[in-house]
Amino acid sequence: MEPNIHQILQQYWQYSAFRPLQEDIIQSVLAGSDTLALLPTGGGKSICFQVPALAKPGICLVISPLIALMKDQVEQLQKRNIAAVAIHSGLSKHEIDIILDNCVFGQIKFLYVSPERLQTSIFRERVKRMSVSLLAVDEAHCISQWGYNFRPSYLQIAELRSLLPNIPVLALTATATEVVKQDIQDKLLFQKARVFQQSFARANLSYSCLPTEDKHGRLLGILQKVPGSAVVYVRSRRQTGETAKWLQARGISTGIYHAGLSFADRTKFQQQWIENKIRVIIATNAFGMGIDKPDVRLVIHLDLPETLEAYYQEAGRAGRDGRYSYATILLGPADAEDLRNKVAEAHPPIETLKRVYQALANYYQIAVGSGEFTSFDFQIEDFTRTYKLKALEVHHAIRKLETEGLLQLNEAYYAPSKLYFAVNHEELYKFQVAHHEFDLLLKTLLRIYGGNVYTSFVKINERQIAGYMRTTEAAVRKALEYLNQRNIVEYEPQREAPQLLFTTPRYDAANLPLDKFKLTQFRKTALQKAEAVINYLETTSRCRTQLLLRYFGEITDELCRVCDFCLTRKKEQRQEDNQKFLQEQIVTHLTQQPLHPKALVNLFEPKFAAELTNLIRDMLEKGQLKYNSQSKLQLVKS
């Protein structure tokens, strides 16, 4: 008998009930239907595949484009004593081999894999031998060329389905237009439409756009007026530091987050912010994925997002606890034109793409026809200095080469040191006898990490090992590197550099298979999306939530009542009602007798004095009132 999904939810997550639509999506998956689920940021998408996978025998294959997100979800599952592993570009071939073997023969419940791995022969051969129960596709909008963040490797998922006949697919995303929703279903070969979509409306989130020529001053004003935890998004790494320093000088506790920070610094600032030890995190768009902090009251953009999809996701990190929160964009005089130029720059000419590709091949000394699925540490500063290239030009070129399926760049992430015993017990014992100087180290490794080192890579801590042995961390590293050279262990030292992956055998740059028509279409689509952002910001005559909903194909006449437009409208309506009331009272008083202006004003509460003075002047100009011979106000008979 299959476990009850409510029991699973309670057992592993300690939740007593599902969120809206979660149970409907889960039941659709359990019925074997291909399903598309659109849930807003923080809406609990992962539960929708994790619960049904736990309810069924077999392994759930999860396709995700972000290493950080994969690592976070795997760690969260492991904390709940659920067997989960991930394959990504930061792993060695041997590590991948061991993981896949464990998925075939072990008790692994969730295998997370980046889409680029789907076409490798090692993966395809092993997946056919796995007992797969569900194929979950996270960030499913990446499959559509008409969405944002298109990943060509996502198109390979349909080919994977031929290896897994009759296995249902669950596609998940937070944002998708009508065109993208249909594209997801077509590209994933859905048999029939089973689409579950929560409204994109967030009743507790107040959207606003504030024009300003002093962004830092306006930012400070907002932070001083609205209490609570905040995220401030900026465009560049340099801006994170400058903005944080400016706010700290004015008494606002602030941390920063971007992909260029060390793992230790990123973790420190992120944890301090989550624990409310610092109030504000200044970040690039590298921040947010997999971070669940429900009490964020403010998300402020100092620079314009490139798409409304990205903005909706980033803004949606506010108010996940259901309490009233704010999402604000500070719009400078030149921001719209800057965004257009930025998007245009992000689509460099084909000659630039070829030049950067050739430089990368030279940098890593990859021969034509080799290098497929080989990853390298990527230090952009050293690369650009070596080949006298501009960093921004290189960044955009690599991103375009990604959309062409030639490269993949994963931003910096932390990978702790890992170790695996490459020999069996008997061979290890012989080595210990012959090399007594390594006996203590090998015994220490077995004492700390147990027999797992014989079957899979384990995370190790050189400092902890050195403490046990009463030696230095450097000495431990040197000894492990020697054992690695002797093929006694496989030792992967700690690293946290960005990873550049060649997803195809290296081409001769002159014959690089670039699709000029597709690249032109990408540029056109990106510019259209930028114009949608600008239109959203410059439209002052409609509810902000209505504007966002319309972009995502959700048409409504209902006002959100909390955005800048709705609040301004409510204020104007109150003023209009108030003015009407005051005018009626003026008429009532003057019907009884003419009055001096001061005497008339004194009949009202003092707070209405200025408004009454303006209203009397207006009524005089319109001929509704006049002065009599005694300089008293009286009504003009119509």
Query: According to the 3-state scheme, what is the secondary structure of 590-618?
Result: HHHCCECHHHHHHCCCHHHHHHHHHHHHH
pLDDT of the residue at 487: 93
pLDDT in tens, 79-113: 999 999 999 877 878 889 999 999 999 789 999 99
pLDDT tens digits for range 482-502? 999 999 999 989 877 788 999
Name the residue type at position 18: F
The pTM assigned to this predicted structure is 0.81
Exposure letters 378-417 (e unless 16+ CB within 10 A, then b): bebeebbeeeebeeeebbbbbebbbbbbbbbbbebbebeb
Distance CA 150, CA 400 (A): 10
- Name the residue type at position 328: T
pLDDT 10s digits, 314-350: 999 999 999 999 999 999 999 999 999 999 999 999 9
**pLDDT score for 259:** 78
What pLDDT is recorded for position 142? 92
* CA distance to 120, 280, 314, per residue, from 277 (Å): 45, 9, 22
Give me the chain's average pLDDT, please: 92
Q: What pLDDT is attached to residue 66?
A: 81
Give the mean model confidence (pLDDT) for residues 599-627. Answer: 92
Residue-wise pLDDT for 5-18, tens only, equals 999 999 999 999 99
Tell how strand 499-502 and strand 407-410 pair up. Answer: antiparallel
Instruction: Say yes or no to pLDDT of 2 above 70.
Output: no
Pairing of strands 407-410, 374-377: unpaired
- CA–CA–CA angle 258, 263, 267 (5° rounding): 80
pLDDT in tens, 134-182: 999 999 999 998 877 888 889 989 999 999 999 999 999 998 999 999 9
Tell me, rounded to whole angstroms, the distance of Cα 153 from its chain centroid: 19
Q: How far is CA 635 from CA 530, 594, 605, in A?
A: 56, 8, 22
pLDDT of residue 424: 92
Q: Which residue has the tokens 């900026």?
A: 234
Domain 5-197, CATH 3.40.50.1820 — does that match? no
Long-range contacts of 395-398 (CB under 8 A, 24+ apart): 396/345, 396/346, 396/347, 396/348, 397/348, 397/352, 397/353, 397/355, 397/356, 397/357, 398/356, 398/360, 398/500
- For residue 305, the Cα-to-chain-centroid distance in whole angstroms is 13
260 pLDDT tier (thresholds 50, 70, 90): confident
Q: What is the per-residue pLDDT for 3?
A: 67
What distance in Å separates the CA atoms of residue 500 and residue 366, rounded to the nearest whole number? 13
Dihedral (C-alpha) 214, 216, 221, 222: value to the nearest 10 degrees?
110
Token code pair at residue 635 = 């009504």
Task: Report the C-alpha gap between 186 and 192 in whole angstroms.
Answer: 10
Q: Specify the CATH architecture of the domain 341-414+497-514.
A: Orthogonal Bundle (1.10)
Shortest CA distance to 137 belongs to which of 165, 163, 167, 108?
Answer: 167
pLDDT at residue 413, rounded to an integer:
64
pLDDT of amino acid 1:
46
Q: Which CATH architecture has domain 205-333+531-551?
A: 3-Layer(aba) Sandwich (3.40)
* C-alpha 371, offset from chain centre: 30
Count Cα atoms within 13 angstroms, Cβ side, for 364. Answer: 23
- Sign of dihedral through CA atoms 225, 226, 228, 234? negative
Separation CA 227–CA 229 (nearest Å): 7
Residue 83 contacts residue 109 (beta carbons within 8 Å): yes
CB 197 within 8 A of CB 319: no
Residues 28 and 35: their CA atoms lie apart, in Å, by 7
| 211: pLDDT strictly greater than 50 | yes
Whether 230 has a pLDDT exceeding 80, the answer reads: yes
| 68 — pLDDT class (breaks 50, 70, 90) | confident
Side by side, the strands of the sheet bearing 418-421 are 458-459, 418-421, 489-492
Whether the CB-CB separation of 314 and 299 falls below 8 Å is answered with yes
Q: Assess contact for 86 and 113: CB atoms under 8 A.
A: yes
Which pair of tokens denotes residue 353?
């793409």
Helix-, strand-, coil-residue percentages of the chain, each rounded to 5: 50, 15, 35
Please choose, from the candidates 160, 178, 166, the residue with its C-alpha nearest in 3D space to the C-alpha of residue 34.
Answer: 166
The rounded distance, in Å, linking the Cα atoms of 473 and 579 is 77
State the burial class of residue 434 (Cβ atoms within 10 Å of its Cβ: 0-12, 13-18, 19+).
exposed
Q: How far apart are CA 566 and CA 447, in angstroms?
A: 65
